[in-house]
Chain A
Amino acid sequence: MGHYQIELTKAMELLASNDKVIFIGQSVEVAGTLMRTTLENINPKKLIEMPVDEDFQMGVANGFALAGYIPISVFPRWNFLLLATNQIVNHLDKLKEISRLGVPPKVIIRTSIGSVKPLHPGPQHTGDFTDAFKLMCKNINIVRLDSHEQIVPQYRLALERDDGVCTLLVEWGDKYAE
Protein backbone atom coordinates (compact mmCIF):
# COMPACT_ATOMS: atom_id res chain seq x y z
CA MET A 1 0.00 0.00 0.00
CA GLY A 2 1.45 3.39 -1.02
CA HIS A 3 1.56 6.65 0.94
CA TYR A 4 -1.43 8.05 -0.93
CA GLN A 5 -3.68 5.10 -0.09
CA ILE A 6 -2.41 5.02 3.51
CA GLU A 7 -3.23 8.69 4.01
CA LEU A 8 -6.68 8.28 2.47
CA THR A 9 -7.34 5.37 4.83
CA LYS A 10 -6.25 7.53 7.79
CA ALA A 11 -8.50 10.35 6.60
CA MET A 12 -11.52 8.04 6.37
CA GLU A 13 -10.85 6.80 9.91
CA LEU A 14 -10.59 10.41 11.07
CA LEU A 15 -13.97 11.19 9.50
CA ALA A 16 -15.56 8.04 10.92
CA SER A 17 -14.55 9.05 14.44
CA ASN A 18 -17.24 11.74 14.29
CA ASP A 19 -20.63 10.41 15.41
CA LYS A 20 -22.46 12.46 12.79
CA VAL A 21 -20.50 11.10 9.83
CA ILE A 22 -21.92 8.52 7.44
CA PHE A 23 -20.57 7.36 4.10
CA ILE A 24 -22.94 6.90 1.16
CA GLY A 25 -22.38 5.81 -2.42
CA GLN A 26 -21.72 2.86 -4.66
CA SER A 27 -19.08 0.44 -3.37
CA VAL A 28 -18.81 1.90 0.10
CA GLU A 29 -20.27 -1.12 1.88
CA VAL A 30 -19.14 -3.76 -0.59
CA ALA A 31 -15.92 -4.19 -2.55
CA GLY A 32 -15.58 -2.98 -6.11
CA THR A 33 -13.46 0.16 -6.33
CA LEU A 34 -10.07 1.51 -5.28
CA MET A 35 -11.85 3.91 -2.91
CA ARG A 36 -13.48 1.02 -1.11
CA THR A 37 -10.04 -0.22 -0.02
CA THR A 38 -9.77 2.89 2.16
CA LEU A 39 -13.08 2.15 3.92
CA GLU A 40 -12.37 -1.39 5.05
CA ASN A 41 -11.74 -0.33 8.66
CA ILE A 42 -14.95 1.69 8.96
CA ASN A 43 -17.85 0.43 11.08
CA PRO A 44 -20.31 -1.09 8.57
CA LYS A 45 -23.17 0.72 10.32
CA LYS A 46 -21.74 3.96 8.93
CA LEU A 47 -21.71 2.72 5.34
CA ILE A 48 -24.84 3.08 3.19
CA GLU A 49 -24.66 1.36 -0.17
CA MET A 50 -26.75 3.23 -2.73
CA PRO A 51 -28.40 2.33 -6.02
CA VAL A 52 -26.51 3.70 -9.02
CA ASP A 53 -28.27 7.01 -9.53
CA GLU A 54 -25.82 9.78 -8.83
CA ASP A 55 -28.19 12.73 -8.56
CA PHE A 56 -30.49 10.69 -6.33
CA GLN A 57 -27.50 9.77 -4.14
CA MET A 58 -26.44 13.40 -3.87
CA GLY A 59 -29.98 14.49 -3.00
CA VAL A 60 -30.07 11.85 -0.27
CA ALA A 61 -26.76 13.23 1.02
CA ASN A 62 -28.18 16.75 1.07
CA GLY A 63 -31.22 15.49 2.96
CA PHE A 64 -29.05 13.77 5.54
CA ALA A 65 -27.14 17.01 5.98
CA LEU A 66 -30.30 19.08 6.44
CA ALA A 67 -31.34 16.63 9.13
CA GLY A 68 -28.02 16.98 10.97
CA TYR A 69 -25.69 14.28 9.71
CA ILE A 70 -22.37 14.88 7.95
CA PRO A 71 -22.59 12.69 4.87
CA ILE A 72 -19.50 11.70 2.90
CA SER A 73 -20.89 11.23 -0.60
CA VAL A 74 -18.59 8.98 -2.58
CA PHE A 75 -18.36 8.97 -6.38
CA PRO A 76 -15.67 6.67 -7.80
CA ARG A 77 -14.94 8.95 -10.79
CA TRP A 78 -15.47 12.55 -11.86
CA ASN A 79 -17.33 11.37 -14.94
CA PHE A 80 -19.90 9.67 -12.73
CA LEU A 81 -20.18 12.67 -10.42
CA LEU A 82 -21.23 14.80 -13.41
CA LEU A 83 -24.61 13.08 -13.19
CA ALA A 84 -25.06 14.60 -9.72
CA THR A 85 -24.39 18.14 -10.91
CA ASN A 86 -27.96 19.31 -10.22
CA GLN A 87 -27.85 18.40 -6.55
CA ILE A 88 -24.33 19.80 -6.15
CA VAL A 89 -24.63 23.07 -8.09
CA ASN A 90 -28.34 23.88 -7.77
CA HIS A 91 -28.84 22.59 -4.27
CA LEU A 92 -25.80 21.98 -2.03
CA ASP A 93 -24.01 25.08 -3.28
CA LYS A 94 -27.17 27.18 -2.83
CA LEU A 95 -28.43 25.79 0.49
CA LYS A 96 -26.55 28.42 2.44
CA GLU A 97 -28.46 31.13 0.58
CA ILE A 98 -31.92 29.59 0.42
CA SER A 99 -32.17 27.50 3.59
CA ARG A 100 -31.44 30.35 6.04
CA LEU A 101 -30.08 27.81 8.46
CA GLY A 102 -28.06 29.24 11.34
CA VAL A 103 -25.63 26.39 10.89
CA PRO A 104 -25.61 25.51 7.18
CA PRO A 105 -25.56 21.83 6.31
CA LYS A 106 -22.21 20.14 5.79
CA VAL A 107 -21.51 17.61 3.05
CA ILE A 108 -18.12 16.24 2.03
CA ILE A 109 -17.90 14.88 -1.51
CA ARG A 110 -15.19 12.48 -2.51
CA THR A 111 -14.32 11.71 -6.12
CA SER A 112 -11.40 10.69 -8.28
CA ILE A 113 -9.65 11.28 -11.56
CA GLY A 114 -9.77 7.76 -12.92
CA SER A 115 -6.56 5.79 -13.16
CA VAL A 116 -5.03 5.07 -16.58
CA LYS A 117 -2.67 2.31 -15.41
CA PRO A 118 -2.54 -0.67 -15.64
CA LEU A 119 -5.71 -0.32 -17.75
CA HIS A 120 -6.81 2.82 -19.57
CA PRO A 121 -10.61 2.94 -19.42
CA GLY A 122 -10.93 5.73 -21.99
CA PRO A 123 -12.26 9.28 -21.99
CA GLN A 124 -15.55 8.54 -20.23
CA HIS A 125 -13.76 7.32 -17.09
CA THR A 126 -10.71 9.58 -16.79
CA GLY A 127 -12.10 13.12 -16.79
CA ASP A 128 -11.03 15.90 -14.46
CA PHE A 129 -13.66 18.62 -14.02
CA THR A 130 -12.12 20.27 -10.96
CA ASP A 131 -11.60 23.67 -12.58
CA ALA A 132 -15.08 23.69 -14.15
CA PHE A 133 -16.75 22.98 -10.82
CA LYS A 134 -14.69 25.68 -9.11
CA LEU A 135 -16.27 28.11 -11.54
CA MET A 136 -19.78 26.83 -10.81
CA CYS A 137 -19.68 26.58 -7.01
CA LYS A 138 -19.02 29.44 -4.61
CA ASN A 139 -19.91 27.67 -1.35
CA ILE A 140 -17.99 24.46 -1.97
CA ASN A 141 -14.24 24.26 -1.41
CA ILE A 142 -12.91 22.11 -4.24
CA VAL A 143 -9.39 20.75 -3.88
CA ARG A 144 -7.40 18.35 -6.04
CA LEU A 145 -5.25 16.18 -3.81
CA ASP A 146 -2.00 16.23 -5.78
CA SER A 147 0.13 15.15 -2.84
CA HIS A 148 -0.42 12.55 -0.11
CA GLU A 149 0.60 15.21 2.39
CA GLN A 150 -2.58 17.20 1.62
CA ILE A 151 -5.01 14.40 2.33
CA VAL A 152 -5.46 14.26 6.10
CA PRO A 153 -5.21 18.07 6.59
CA GLN A 154 -7.82 18.71 3.88
CA TYR A 155 -10.25 16.15 5.27
CA ARG A 156 -9.71 17.50 8.80
CA LEU A 157 -10.47 21.01 7.56
CA ALA A 158 -13.58 19.77 5.75
CA LEU A 159 -14.83 18.04 8.89
CA GLU A 160 -14.05 20.77 11.39
CA ARG A 161 -14.88 23.98 9.51
CA ASP A 162 -18.06 25.74 10.62
CA ASP A 163 -18.32 28.53 8.07
CA GLY A 164 -21.04 26.89 5.98
CA VAL A 165 -18.63 25.89 3.23
CA CYS A 166 -18.89 22.31 2.02
CA THR A 167 -16.02 20.36 0.48
CA LEU A 168 -15.28 18.36 -2.66
CA LEU A 169 -11.94 16.53 -2.58
CA VAL A 170 -10.52 15.02 -5.75
CA GLU A 171 -8.16 12.07 -5.73
CA TRP A 172 -5.84 10.71 -8.40
CA GLY A 173 -6.55 7.05 -9.00
CA ASP A 174 -3.05 6.52 -10.31
CA LYS A 175 -1.47 7.77 -7.09
CA TYR A 176 -2.81 4.91 -4.97
CA ALA A 177 0.27 2.88 -5.76
CA GLU A 178 2.73 5.68 -4.93
Chain B
Amino acid sequence: MDLKWTSKSLRNFESEISEIFNSGKIKAPVHLSDGNENELINIFKDISSSDWVLCSWRSHYQALLKGVPAEQVKSEIISGRSISLCFPEYRFFSSAIVGGHVSISIGIALHEKKKNTKNHVWCFLGDMTSETGVAQTSIRYAETHDLPITFVIEDNGLSVLTETRSVWASSTLRYEEIKSSKVVSFKYKSKYPHAGAGVRVQF
Protein backbone atom coordinates (compact mmCIF):
# COMPACT_ATOMS: atom_id res chain seq x y z
CA MET B 1 0.00 0.00 0.00
CA ASP B 2 0.91 3.64 -0.24
CA LEU B 3 1.55 4.45 3.42
CA LYS B 4 1.42 8.20 2.99
CA TRP B 5 -2.38 8.29 2.78
CA THR B 6 -4.42 9.17 5.84
CA SER B 7 -8.15 9.43 6.34
CA LYS B 8 -7.87 13.18 6.07
CA SER B 9 -5.78 13.21 2.90
CA LEU B 10 -8.10 10.69 1.21
CA ARG B 11 -11.12 12.81 2.09
CA ASN B 12 -9.32 15.89 0.80
CA PHE B 13 -8.67 14.14 -2.53
CA GLU B 14 -12.35 13.30 -2.97
CA SER B 15 -13.34 16.80 -1.85
CA GLU B 16 -11.17 18.28 -4.59
CA ILE B 17 -12.71 15.91 -7.15
CA SER B 18 -16.20 16.87 -5.97
CA GLU B 19 -15.42 20.55 -6.49
CA ILE B 20 -14.06 19.91 -9.97
CA PHE B 21 -17.12 17.80 -10.81
CA ASN B 22 -19.58 20.38 -9.50
CA SER B 23 -17.82 23.06 -11.55
CA GLY B 24 -18.79 21.06 -14.66
CA LYS B 25 -15.25 20.23 -15.76
CA ILE B 26 -15.74 16.46 -15.67
CA LYS B 27 -18.03 15.34 -18.47
CA ALA B 28 -18.61 11.87 -17.10
CA PRO B 29 -20.00 10.30 -13.95
CA VAL B 30 -17.93 10.07 -10.78
CA HIS B 31 -18.64 7.84 -7.80
CA LEU B 32 -17.07 9.33 -4.70
CA SER B 33 -16.08 7.58 -1.48
CA ASP B 34 -16.55 8.78 2.07
CA GLY B 35 -16.76 7.21 5.49
CA ASN B 36 -14.71 4.11 4.63
CA GLU B 37 -11.22 5.61 4.89
CA ASN B 38 -10.05 3.91 8.09
CA GLU B 39 -11.30 0.48 7.05
CA LEU B 40 -9.59 0.69 3.67
CA ILE B 41 -6.33 1.96 5.12
CA ASN B 42 -6.28 -1.02 7.50
CA ILE B 43 -7.04 -3.50 4.71
CA PHE B 44 -4.40 -2.05 2.42
CA LYS B 45 -1.74 -2.60 5.09
CA ASP B 46 -1.88 -6.25 3.96
CA ILE B 47 -1.79 -5.51 0.22
CA SER B 48 1.58 -5.60 -1.52
CA SER B 49 2.59 -3.96 -4.78
CA SER B 50 2.57 -7.34 -6.57
CA ASP B 51 -0.96 -8.12 -5.39
CA TRP B 52 -3.94 -7.48 -7.64
CA VAL B 53 -6.79 -5.12 -6.74
CA LEU B 54 -10.11 -5.24 -8.59
CA CYS B 55 -12.93 -2.83 -7.96
CA SER B 56 -16.28 -1.53 -9.10
CA TRP B 57 -17.13 1.95 -10.39
CA ARG B 58 -16.21 3.50 -7.01
CA SER B 59 -12.47 3.04 -6.76
CA HIS B 60 -10.60 6.32 -6.24
CA TYR B 61 -9.48 5.42 -2.70
CA GLN B 62 -8.40 1.93 -3.67
CA ALA B 63 -6.32 3.23 -6.59
CA LEU B 64 -4.57 5.77 -4.36
CA LEU B 65 -3.92 3.20 -1.63
CA LYS B 66 -2.58 0.71 -4.20
CA GLY B 67 0.10 3.26 -4.97
CA VAL B 68 -1.10 4.90 -8.17
CA PRO B 69 0.17 8.50 -8.04
CA ALA B 70 -2.56 10.97 -7.10
CA GLU B 71 -1.98 13.10 -10.18
CA GLN B 72 -2.39 10.05 -12.42
CA VAL B 73 -5.65 9.08 -10.71
CA LYS B 74 -6.88 12.65 -10.89
CA SER B 75 -5.98 12.93 -14.56
CA GLU B 76 -7.94 9.79 -15.40
CA ILE B 77 -10.95 11.04 -13.44
CA ILE B 78 -10.91 14.41 -15.15
CA SER B 79 -10.58 12.63 -18.51
CA GLY B 80 -13.89 10.92 -17.78
CA ARG B 81 -12.68 7.46 -16.81
CA SER B 82 -13.58 7.44 -13.11
CA ILE B 83 -16.21 4.79 -13.69
CA SER B 84 -13.74 2.15 -14.88
CA LEU B 85 -10.29 3.09 -13.63
CA CYS B 86 -7.59 0.69 -14.78
CA PHE B 87 -3.88 0.96 -14.08
CA PRO B 88 -2.41 -2.30 -15.34
CA GLU B 89 1.12 -1.34 -14.33
CA TYR B 90 -0.14 -1.28 -10.72
CA ARG B 91 -2.22 -4.45 -11.18
CA PHE B 92 -5.38 -2.43 -10.67
CA PHE B 93 -8.58 -3.03 -12.66
CA SER B 94 -12.19 -2.03 -12.30
CA SER B 95 -15.46 -2.54 -14.11
CA ALA B 96 -18.53 -0.32 -14.32
CA ILE B 97 -20.81 -3.37 -14.60
CA VAL B 98 -22.29 -4.88 -11.42
CA GLY B 99 -20.25 -7.98 -10.57
CA GLY B 100 -18.21 -7.74 -13.75
CA HIS B 101 -14.88 -7.70 -11.97
CA VAL B 102 -15.76 -10.48 -9.53
CA SER B 103 -15.39 -13.50 -11.82
CA ILE B 104 -12.42 -11.82 -13.50
CA SER B 105 -10.80 -11.80 -10.05
CA ILE B 106 -11.24 -15.56 -9.90
CA GLY B 107 -9.39 -16.02 -13.20
CA ILE B 108 -6.47 -13.96 -11.91
CA ALA B 109 -6.43 -15.88 -8.62
CA LEU B 110 -6.43 -19.20 -10.51
CA HIS B 111 -3.48 -17.92 -12.54
CA GLU B 112 -1.53 -17.03 -9.40
CA LYS B 113 -2.28 -20.40 -7.84
CA LYS B 114 -1.21 -22.29 -10.98
CA LYS B 115 2.00 -20.25 -11.05
CA ASN B 116 2.51 -20.97 -7.34
CA THR B 117 3.24 -17.35 -6.52
CA LYS B 118 2.68 -15.56 -3.22
CA ASN B 119 0.60 -12.87 -4.91
CA HIS B 120 -2.91 -12.28 -3.62
CA VAL B 121 -6.05 -10.95 -5.31
CA TRP B 122 -8.27 -8.41 -3.55
CA CYS B 123 -11.77 -8.00 -4.92
CA PHE B 124 -13.77 -5.03 -3.59
CA LEU B 125 -17.54 -5.12 -3.96
CA GLY B 126 -20.65 -3.57 -2.49
CA ASP B 127 -23.46 -5.14 -0.51
CA MET B 128 -25.92 -5.40 -3.43
CA THR B 129 -23.25 -6.96 -5.63
CA SER B 130 -22.43 -9.43 -2.86
CA GLU B 131 -25.96 -10.84 -3.24
CA THR B 132 -25.67 -11.50 -6.98
CA GLY B 133 -25.26 -14.95 -8.44
CA VAL B 134 -21.81 -14.25 -9.78
CA ALA B 135 -20.58 -13.13 -6.34
CA GLN B 136 -22.04 -16.18 -4.64
CA THR B 137 -20.54 -18.46 -7.30
CA SER B 138 -17.17 -16.75 -7.11
CA ILE B 139 -16.94 -16.89 -3.31
CA ARG B 140 -17.87 -20.57 -3.30
CA TYR B 141 -15.39 -21.37 -6.08
CA ALA B 142 -12.65 -19.48 -4.23
CA GLU B 143 -13.36 -21.43 -1.06
CA THR B 144 -13.54 -24.90 -2.59
CA HIS B 145 -10.40 -24.32 -4.67
CA ASP B 146 -8.65 -22.42 -1.87
CA LEU B 147 -7.68 -19.58 -4.17
CA PRO B 148 -5.42 -16.71 -3.04
CA ILE B 149 -8.20 -14.15 -3.00
CA THR B 150 -10.07 -12.00 -0.49
CA PHE B 151 -13.44 -10.44 -1.23
CA VAL B 152 -13.89 -7.14 0.59
CA ILE B 153 -17.57 -6.29 0.98
CA GLU B 154 -18.10 -2.59 1.59
CA ASP B 155 -21.63 -2.40 2.93
CA ASN B 156 -23.38 0.96 2.81
CA GLY B 157 -26.78 -0.74 2.62
CA LEU B 158 -27.60 0.85 -0.71
CA SER B 159 -27.48 0.29 -4.45
CA VAL B 160 -27.98 3.75 -5.91
CA LEU B 161 -31.03 4.60 -3.76
CA THR B 162 -32.38 1.07 -3.41
CA GLU B 163 -32.04 -0.41 0.07
CA THR B 164 -30.38 -3.79 -0.28
CA ARG B 165 -31.95 -5.47 2.74
CA SER B 166 -35.36 -4.08 1.86
CA VAL B 167 -35.46 -5.50 -1.68
CA TRP B 168 -34.20 -8.84 -0.42
CA ALA B 169 -36.80 -8.69 2.37
CA SER B 170 -34.16 -9.76 4.83
CA SER B 171 -32.46 -8.02 7.72
CA THR B 172 -29.27 -9.95 6.94
CA LEU B 173 -27.31 -10.56 3.76
CA ARG B 174 -25.71 -13.82 2.67
CA TYR B 175 -22.24 -12.75 3.72
CA GLU B 176 -23.59 -12.19 7.24
CA GLU B 177 -25.38 -15.53 7.29
CA ILE B 178 -22.65 -17.74 5.83
CA LYS B 179 -19.18 -16.84 7.07
CA SER B 180 -16.32 -17.37 4.68
CA SER B 181 -12.59 -17.30 5.23
CA LYS B 182 -12.36 -15.54 1.85
CA VAL B 183 -14.58 -12.62 2.83
CA VAL B 184 -13.99 -9.57 4.99
CA SER B 185 -16.59 -6.85 5.37
CA PHE B 186 -17.42 -3.57 7.00
CA LYS B 187 -20.34 -1.18 7.14
CA TYR B 188 -20.17 2.53 6.50
CA LYS B 189 -22.20 5.58 5.56
CA SER B 190 -21.15 8.06 2.91
CA LYS B 191 -22.00 11.73 2.66
CA TYR B 192 -21.92 11.53 -1.14
CA PRO B 193 -24.75 10.33 -3.35
CA HIS B 194 -24.32 7.21 -5.50
CA ALA B 195 -23.03 9.32 -8.38
CA GLY B 196 -21.87 12.88 -8.59
CA ALA B 197 -21.08 15.23 -5.75
CA GLY B 198 -24.33 16.80 -4.76
CA VAL B 199 -25.20 18.87 -7.80
CA ARG B 200 -27.76 16.58 -9.38
CA VAL B 201 -26.90 15.37 -12.88
CA GLN B 202 -29.19 12.58 -14.03
CA PHE B 203 -27.59 10.19 -16.51
Binding site for B on A (CB under 8 A): 48, 51, 53, 55-69, 71, 86-87, 90-91, 98-102
Interface size class for chain B? 20 to 34
Residue of A nearest to B140 (CB): A51
Query: Do residues B107 and A59 form an inter-chain contact, with CB atoms below 8 A?
Result: yes
How many whole Å from A131's CB to the nearest CB in chain B?
24
Q: Are B137's CB and A91's CB within 8 A?
A: no
Bound-state CA distance A56–B135 (Å) is 9
Q: Are B108 and A64 in contact (CB under 8 A)?
A: yes
| Chain B residues, Cβ within 8 Å of A56 | 103, 106, 134, 137-138, 141
User: In the complex the two chains form, is B108's CB within 8 Å of A51's CB?
Assistant: no
| B102 at the A interface (CB under 8 A) | yes
- Per DSSP, chain A at the interface is helix
Chain A residue at minimal CB-CB distance from B144: A51
Question: Does B110 contact A91, Cβ atoms closer than 8 Å?
Answer: no
Kindly state the separation between the CA atoms of A55 and B108 in the bound complex, as whole angstroms. Answer: 15
A-B CB contact pairs (8 Å), 21 listed? A51-B137, A53-B133, A55-B103, A56-B137, A58-B103, A59-B100, A59-B102, A59-B106, A59-B107, A62-B103, A62-B107, A63-B104, A63-B111, A67-B107, A67-B111, A67-B112, A68-B111, A69-B111, A71-B107, A91-B100, A98-B86
User: Residues of B contacting A53 with CB < 8 Å?
Assistant: 133-134, 137
Does the CB pair A59–B93 fall under 8 Å?
no
Q: B105 near A: Cβ within 8 Å?
A: yes
Shortest beta-carbon distance from B95 to chain A in Å:
6
Residues of A within 8 A of B129 (CB): none
Query: Could you say which residues of chain B place their CB within 8 Å of the CB of A61?
Result: 107
Specify which of A64, A66, A101 lies most central, judged by the most chain B CB atoms within 10 Å of its CB. A66
For residue B36, CB closer than 8 A to chain A, the reply is no
A63-B103 contact in complex given A51-B141, A56-B137, A91-B97, C-beta closer than 8 Å: yes
State which of A65, A66, A86 has its C-beta within 8 Å of the C-beta of B100: A86
Decide: A101 near B88, CB < 8 A? Known: A56-B137, A90-B100: yes
CA distance A86 to B137 in the complex (A): 16
